[in-house]
Every structure is written in C-alpha cells, then in structure tokens.
Chain A
Amino acid sequence: DVKVTQSSRYLVKRTGEKVFLECVQDMDHENMFWYRQDPGLGLRLIYFSYDVKMKEKGDIPEGYSVSREKKERFSLILESASTNQTSMYLCASSFGTSSYNEQFFGPGTRLTVL
C-alpha cells in the first residue's frame, strides 16, 4: 500500500513561531504537494515539487516555503506563523506525469496558531 505520513496530526503554535510540517512517502513518487484545506474553499495548492531540490509555487504560496532534500520527504515551512494560517494541511504525492495518475494523501495536520 502507498503510504504518505505526516509528522503530526495536531499542532498548536504561537504567532511568530517558525513551524515545520514534515511529509514522507514510501512509494518513490516524483511529485509531492502541500495543500491547505479550509471549510467552503476545498483544497488549495501551496507548493509542489516534481523532483529532489525542485519546487514550484502553487496558488497560495505567500507566507510559506518548502524544502525537498530527499525524494521521499517534502517539508512545509511557515517562517513566521500567523493566525490566518490556522488550517488543515494535507500532503500528497503522485507518480510520473500521466494524466491518469491519482494523488495519494496523508492524514493531515491540523495546525492552530494562537
């Protein structure tokens, strides 16, 4: 089974803190993604990566950065957390460039910024 794991299910941080969210996949997928999920807005793409050390901005990259030093690991970084970054964060991965290939999701990290 494909497995995507995220480092925390729940996280509480204070405004201004630097926050790291980690994601690991075990299926040798090239592509990895970070989304945030908010009620009524669905999933919005923050950043994605199609190879080690490669990264591309998604639809809402402001306030976030990412790191992909190894193929299996994709980290999302909040340089200075703010209350409007309170959300559910979902990591996903997929194989190759075929339009048929699905994305596999982790369980999510619910981040609260106080």
Chain B
Amino acid sequence: GNSVTQMEGPVTLSEEAFLTINCTYTATGYPSLFWYVQYPGEGLQLLLKATKADDKGSNKGFEATYRKETTSFHLEKGSVQVSDSAVYFCALRRGSWGKFQFGAGTQVVVTP
C-alpha cells in the first residue's frame, strides 16, 4: 500500500544553518506530494506541493523536488530562522476523495 517515510527528529539547528528533511514514499500510480508545517499549538498548514515528476514546489524559502526515480521529496531550506521551529509532515495524496497519507512528522528546533 501507500506509505510515507520521514527522517526522525528532533532536528536541532542553529539559526542560518542549512536544513534538509528526507522524505521517501511508496505508492501506486502518480501521487501528488505535499509538505505541511505545524507550528506549536496550531493545526497543519500547507507549505508546498508538487503534482508530477521533476516538479519543484517552493514557499517561504523552502523547496522540494518530486523525484520519481528515487521516490523522494526531500525538503530543503538554505538558511533557517528561529521562526521555522515546527513539525514538518510529508504527505502524498492517495486514491480518490482527497485522502492523504502522512509521514510521522519531523520536529525541527532552531536555536538563536
């Protein structure tokens, strides 16, 4: 079946460091891929998405490229800020009716 695997956290970084969060997936067909972010005490919000192979999603300095050959969708940011401290979820859309499969989430902590 469909699944999403993320690197375990927490990931602790200093401000202005480079961030990578690995995400790989297994799925039938050609799923759309998403990164969501959850700030403390809040629900999830969409960070970026990619809907076909080689697409690059980007938002707020974050980027991720849909790599079908490696079934990956790694999230990157070149220079993190304290305000990027959050939990990041990789997800794929599976089947009809908009059902999603989420990874376990990766907590990122950025220190000044």
Contact = CB atoms under 8 A, between A and B. Distances in A.
Interface stretch (A11-19, A36-44, A68-76): A36-44
Interface residues of B, number: 23
Contacts of A56: 97
B49 A102 contact: yes
B96 A97 contact: yes
B98 A43 contact: no
Interface of B is mostly: loop
A48 interface: yes
Nearest to B89: A42
B93 A99 contact: yes
Contacts of B105: 42
Contact of B104 (A35, A40, A101, A107): A40
Given A100-B49, A105-B43, A105-B45, A43 B97 contact: no
B97 A97 contact: yes
Interface string A91-112: 0101111011111111110000
A43 B88 CA distance: 12
B98 A103 contact: yes
B82 interface: no
B71 to A, nearest CB: 16
A31 interface: yes
Interface of A: 4, 31, 33, 35, 40-43, 45, 48, 50, 56, 58, 90, 92, 94-97, 99-108
Given A41-B104, A106-B43, 10 more contacts: A4-B43, A43-B89, A48-B97, A58-B99, A92-B44, A99-B32, A101-B98, A104-B46, A107-B43, A108-B43
